[in-house]
Amino acid sequence: MLATFVLASAVAVAPALEPVKVEALPAEQIASGCGCTFYSTPRPVAGKEILRWSQAERGLAAMKLDGEVRTLRLVQEKRLPREREVPRYADRLVLILGDDHYMVEVASSVKRACRPQHASCAGTGYAAAFILRRDGAARRELRGWGECGC
């Protein structure tokens, strides 16, 4: 009985793995075309792209996690209160992306919306919050910006 107690307490104090490390995507991973690019900064900054979700790739996303560019599949997409042709300020887009070891949740809120084909506007801008998880690791939370359009 004593051996069982010692083993159980040794497991309880084992240190958690480090949170997921997020790095900027290499330029070749930033596909052109329709989709969303998310940044680790409060506004779009070249070289700070951390997530590319492409509509052309059937909902697949690229993100550099723990030193490796990973392809994440779309697990769930929600647009709240509903999907609209022209998004409105404060509409929300929630994406859940993952693979066998990682889960990424992106909760974003429209801060800039454009009418389709409006010449001076390039797409919809989102304030974004990211929650990243890896098997057995502490979760990491980040804030950033997203740009969606074609």
- Any idea where the domains of the chain sit in the sequence? 25-149
**Residue range 88-104: average pLDDT?**
95
Residue 4 has pLDDT above 90, yes or no: no
What pLDDT, on a 0 to 100 scale, did the predictor assign at position 117?
Answer: 63
pLDDT band at 17 (very low <50, low <70, confident <90, very high): confident
92 sits in which H/E element: strand 92-98
Q: Is residue 139 helix, strand or coil? A: coil
Q: How far apart are CA 134 and CA 19, in angstroms?
A: 8
Residue that the structure tokens 């997203």 belong to:
146
**Residue range 134-149: average pLDDT?**
92
If one counts every other C-beta atom within 10 angstroms of the C-beta of residue 121, the result is: 14
What is the DSSP-derived secondary structure letter of residue 9?
H
List Cβ neighbours of 52 (8 Å cut-off, separation of 6 or more): 25, 29, 30, 31, 35, 36, 37, 38, 61, 62, 63
Which residues make beta-bridge pairs with 147?
A: 37, 125
Query: What is the average pLDDT score of the chain?
Result: 86
Model pTM?
0.83
pLDDT band at 16 (very low <50, low <70, confident <90, very high): low
Q: How far apart are CA 65 and CA 77, in angstroms?
A: 21
**Residue range 72-98: average pLDDT?**
91
